[in-house]
Amino acid sequence: MKFFIDTANLNEIKEAHDLGVLDGVTTNPSLMAKEGIKGADNIRAHYKAICNIVDNNVSAEVISTDFETIIKEGRELAKIDDKIVVKVPMIKDGVKAIKKFSSENIRTNCTLVFSAGQAILAAKAGASYVSPFIGRLDDVGTDGLELIAQIVNIYNNYGYATEVLAASVRHTMHLIQCAELGADVATCPLNVIIGLLKHPLTDSGLEKFLADYKKVNG
């Protein structure tokens, strides 16, 4: 499973990268706004700064909703760096744009996916990644993990090349369950990745080892 970090914060991205397990970054307009990044030039410069940290797979989201403008904006984003994956919403013109980008060898991430039907459309259009938002489904009383299982099963049935990118991952059990279900990627905040390190028996075991060493060696 690939680990992406869901943030626009450069320090968090560097920390995750330095840990040695980071495969990419996902961002969106909300995350950019959270970091105070505004204006087209500043946003593009920030994407470039992210690309300079990570090895690959930086999802940069379009803000347009009509086909022609999505294409124009997506092409501009793709020019920033070869690591850019153009993030496109699951809407009618978005699906059309994904098909067009696919024909131009521009990688895409179809975002805001909440059903297996939407995931099928994204795969048929040639999306590189499909992003089901499991946490947001949980918020409205629907099992987000069941959607991951559905999509993985459907994609395996037909050999779709689109990778399942579990998004809106809220905690470590979300991430582990996505891995069990066969999601190709999980994107999550830094604290979720760091959370995988932690176990009370690891802490107590290390404390005992060090205490025993000190007892004998002073």
Confidence band for 24, pLDDT divided at 50, 70 and 90: very high
Across residues 187-214, what is the average pLDDT?
Answer: 92
Which has the minimum average pLDDT: 22-26, 97-101, 179-183, 212-216? 212-216
Which tens digits make up the pLDDT trace of 120-164? Answer: 999 999 999 999 999 999 999 999 999 999 999 999 999 999 999
Angle between helix 40-51 and 67-80 (nearest 10): 50
The active-site residue, picked from 87, 92, 99, 214, is 87
Which tens digits make up the pLDDT trace of 68-116? Answer: 999 999 999 999 999 999 999 999 999 999 999 999 999 999 999 999 9
Which pLDDT score is estimated for 32?
Answer: 94
Q: What is the pTM of this model?
A: 0.94
In the chain, the percentage of residues whose pLDDT exceeds 70 is: 100
> Tokens 């009509």 belong to which residue?
66
d(CA 25, CA 7): 7
Instruction: Fill in the DSSP letter of residue 126.
Output: T
Question: Is residue 1 a contact partner of residue 185, using CB atoms and an 8 Å limit?
Answer: yes
Which pLDDT score is estimated for 69?
Answer: 98
Query: What are the structure tokens assigned to 152, written together?
Result: 């993985």
Question: Is residue 10 a contact partner of residue 52, using CB atoms and an 8 Å limit?
Answer: no
Active site residue 87: yes
Going by C-beta distance under 8 Å and a sequence separation of 6 or more, which residues neighbour residue 24? 2, 3, 4, 5, 54, 56, 57, 58, 59, 85, 185, 187
Cα torsion 102, 148, 179, 131: sign: positive
Which pLDDT score is estimated for 218?
Answer: 74
Q: Is 74 exposed, middle or buried (0-12, 13-18, 19+ CB in 10 A)?
A: buried
Which pLDDT score is estimated for 204?
Answer: 92
- Look over the chain and give the mean of its residue pLDDT values, rounded to a whole number: 96
